[in-house]
Amino acid sequence: MPLGLQLRLSLLFTAFLYLGPLFAGVGRHPWPVVPAFVALFLLWTMVVRPAQWPRDRAGWRGPGVVVRVAATAAMQTFLVVLLHAIGRGIGGFLPDVTIPLSLPLALALVSIPLSRLALDPERLAFARGDLEEVPEELAVELEGQRADRLVAPFLRLPDDTGEVELMRRLVALAPSLTSAALLDALDRGIEAADGPARAARRALILQATSVATADTCQGRAEPMRALRVAADDRGLLHLLTLRLRDLLEQRPQAEGDCPSIPDLRAAASRATVLDRIGRRRAA
pLDDT < 50: residue spans in the chain: 126-135, 283
- Burial level of 84, CB count in 10 A (0-12/13-18/19+)? buried
Say if residues 205 and 246 touch (Cβ distance below 8 Å). no
What pLDDT is recorded for position 133? Answer: 47
Say if residues 81 and 34 touch (Cβ distance below 8 Å). yes
pTM tops 0.75:
no
What pLDDT is recorded for position 188? Answer: 92
What pLDDT is recorded for position 271? Answer: 66
Residues 74-107 have pLDDT tens digits of: 999 999 999 999 999 988 888 777 889 999 999 9
Q: Which of these, 183, 181, 179, 185, lies nearest to 211 by C-alpha position? A: 179
CB atoms closer than 10 angstroms to residue 39: 13
DSSP states of 264-275 as a string?
HHHHHHHHHHHH
Q: Which residues have C-beta within 8 Å of that of residue 69, sequence separation ≥ 6?
A: 52, 53, 54
